[in-house]
Chain A
């Protein structure tokens, strides 16, 4: 009984958390699923957004300017990941890791130290409504509305002439080029857009939790990937609408799952292992079950 009350008590916090991390899951999904350009750089762009935003808030800038700067930083970093991979023909994963590593130093430079407390500065939540930062349902409403708005805009964009060109690059690179689409610019802008979402999540997180830290990115890619996989399991990816919905639904489900684990008494420090294991199982499942099915068939024949 105790366990259930703990879980229920955690729901509002977890929902706020998952609505923030939904943007990271979206940032993992866009390059991976739509552009066919697997990219892990969220691990670096997420804290970059947070650190830039935190540093500017602490310098006295308003939350809108601080967030815009954080998102712009993510955009630049994302462009860099794509440009390095395309120009030097390096694997996108490696290019992402190089940028993540370099961003760690950048983040420390930007903040001047490894963390900054932001409790005393006005945040974007205060801007929407004074005192909103203390109200979980209020935060939930604002974040939920933002997620819906972004998903709606993305869905509309994917149906525009530019959006269809973007999807074509991921679906069939040769065909896209043969239809006059610049793979270079499309990939760079697509990855940069995704990185902007990740950085945006970082800017929201530091304001929501009241402090900015260079280590907030640790493990977010695996969480994003786990969210995406769970979301695809739940809503599928047969259409562009479902594909866009999957990371958001997945993030909500995933953080509830984590919450269940915590309620069951799992130590928070073991969570990373659990997340990694979850992703591994999800990725391995089709392979393992597929094999068993093939072996069973061979036995019959």
Chain B
């Protein structure tokens, strides 16, 4: 539901990084998104061109890797990909800790660097 504002957040962060690296363009942005991040990847992909138009990331491709949910069971110590959300596969306890699956992370970006133009006059 807030995919537009998330796109703006991505753009803000990658723009700062691109500037620090003297880039003229961002070619690609690689995101990791978990199924519990509350993000519709398709909506994010549709929102991105609207937000990036006219910016350094205008022609960037958005690559999304979908991560999986993993939990740690406080009761039996098992780590697993739960078959039922938050429930331990081996002892069926719901007292579990989420290890991954709710993340939205910028993994890396591909930058095209500026050709040096520092002339001495």
Please indicate whether A and B come from the same complex rather than being unrelated chains: no
Task: List A residues at the B interface (Cβ < 8 Å).
Answer: none
